[in-house]
Amino acid sequence: HDVVLDGEAVVFDDHGVANVGLLQADAARAVFVAFDVLYLDGTSLIRKRYSDRRRVLEAIAANAPSLRVPPRLDGSGAEALRYSQAC
């Protein structure tokens, strides 16, 4: 597929937590974590609902073992922020 993803390169520590310091120290261990799919095979998905884009992203990841997609967070944006801060 011809795809544009939104995500970031991260290095996980021994506890599975993304660590920026490790990324700077050992970029060779970096993996790409995709949060969203913006473009697929000539079609912009930007105006589609996130839930629809998320299903597309999960389908792409199912066929690309090296692509990491974080688990879906249900609930409000405030709840997602609290979850992120706790990690």
In a structure prediction context, what are the per-residue pLDDT tens digits for the chain, which is 87 residues long? 899 999 999 999 999 888 888 988 888 889 899 999 999 999 999 999 999 999 999 999 999 888 899 988 888 888 888 887 776
pLDDT at 87: 63
Token readout for 37 is 């799919």
pTM for this structure? 0.78
The Cα 19–Cα 38 span in angstroms is 26
List phi, psi (to 5°) of 7.
Answer: -175, -160
The Cα 59–Cα 62 span in angstroms is 5
The Cα 37–Cα 62 span in angstroms is 14
